[in-house]
Amino acid sequence: MKEIKDSDRKPSKKPLIYYYMVALLVLMLLNALFFPSVLSRQVIEVPYSQFLTMIDDGQVSQVALEESSGQLVFIAGEDEAHQQVYKTGIWPDDGQRLLEQLRSDPSIQFQAEIPTQANPLLSFVLTWILPIFFFILIGELISRWMMKRMGNGLPGGMGNAMTFGKSNAKVYVEASQIGVTFADVAGQEEAKASLMEVVDFLHEPEKYADIGAQLPKGVLLVGPPGTGKTLLAKAVAGEAHVPFFSISGSEFVEMFVGMGAAKVRDLFKQANEKAPCIVFIDEIDAIGKKRDTGGYGGNDEREQTLNQLLAEMDGFDGRKGVVLLAATNRPESLDPALMRPGRFDRRVPVEPPDLPGRKAILQVHAKKVHIADDVDWDLIARTTAGSSGAELANIVNEAALRAVRQHRKVVKQEDLEESVETVLAGAQRKNAVISDQEKKIVSYHEIGHALVAALQTHSAPVTKITIIPRTSGALGYTMQVDTGEKALMSRTELYNKIATLTGGRAAEELIFGKENMTTGASNDIEQATKLARAMITRYGMTDEFDMMALETIQNQYLGGDTSLTCAPETAAKIDAMAAQIIKEAHEKALGILKAHEGKLHELAEYLLEKETITGEAFMSILNA
- In tens, the pLDDT along 513-566 reads 989 999 989 999 999 999 999 999 999 999 899 898 888 887 777 777 778 888
Does residue 157 share a domain with residue 84?
no
Sign for the CA dihedral angle at 158, 161, 162, 167 comes to positive
pLDDT of residue 533: 94
* Structural domain contains residue 430: no
Out of 349, 371, 388, pick the residue that ends a domain.
Answer: 349
Q: Give the angle subtended at the CA of 505 by the CAs of 500 and 508, to the nearest 5°.
A: 125
**What digits encode the pLDDT tens for the residues 179-213?**
788 888 888 888 888 888 888 888 887 888 788 88
Q: Would you give the end-to-end CA distance of the chain in angstroms?
A: 82
Sign for the CA dihedral angle at 412, 418, 422, 424 comes to positive
User: What CATH number did the domain enclosing 377 receive?
Assistant: 1.10.8.60
- Mean pLDDT for the chain overall: 80
Helix (H) or strand (E) holding 620: helix 615-623
Radius of gyration of the chain (CA): 43
Does residue 125 share a domain with residue 112?
no
* Structural domain contains residue 1: no
C-alpha closest to that of 27 among 146, 131, 138 = 131
Q: Is the pLDDT of residue 233 over 60?
A: yes
Answering whether pTM is above 0.75, one says: no
Out of 139, 161, 183, pick the residue that ends a domain.
Answer: 161
pLDDT of residue 305: 85
Does residue 460 share a domain with residue 578?
yes
Does residue 506 share a domain with residue 460?
yes
Between residues 358 and 458, which one has the greater pLDDT? 358
C-alpha dist (Å) from residue 76 to 43, 53, 62, 79, 131: 11, 11, 7, 8, 32
Does residue 144 share a domain with residue 50?
no
Selecting among 417, 446, 508, 509, the annotated active-site residue is: 446
* Structural domain contains residue 86: yes
Domain that holds residue 417: 355-424
* Structural domain contains residue 429: no
Does residue 596 share a domain with residue 450?
yes
Q: Rounded to an integer, what distance in angstroms lies between the CA atom of residue 370 and that of residue 411?
A: 6
Does residue 154 share a domain with residue 185?
no
Q: Rounded to an integer, what distance in angstroms lies between the CA atom of residue 351 and that of residue 223?
A: 5
* Structural domain contains residue 277: yes
C-alpha dist (Å) from residue 64 to 44, 89, 226, 326, 536: 15, 12, 90, 86, 116
Indicate if 446 belongs to the active site: yes
User: What CATH number did the domain enclosing 516 receive?
Assistant: 1.20.58.760
Does residue 419 share a domain with residue 338?
no
Is 377 in contact with 359 (CB distance < 8 Å)? yes
* Structural domain contains residue 431: no
Q: Is the pLDDT of residue 37 over 50?
A: no
C-alpha closest to that of 556 among 271, 265, 332, 276 = 332
- Diameter of the chain by CA atoms? 146
**What digits encode the pLDDT tens for the residues 107-164?**
777 666 666 655 555 566 666 666 667 767 776 777 677 666 554 444 444 444 444 4
Does residue 272 share a domain with residue 236?
yes
User: 3-class SS at 282?
Assistant: strand
Does residue 599 share a domain with residue 469?
yes
C-alpha closest to that of 599 among 621, 575, 576 = 621
Q: How many domains does the chain have?
A: 5
* Structural domain contains residue 83: yes
* Structural domain contains residue 233: yes
Does residue 193 share a domain with residue 334?
yes
Does residue 530 share a domain with residue 517?
yes
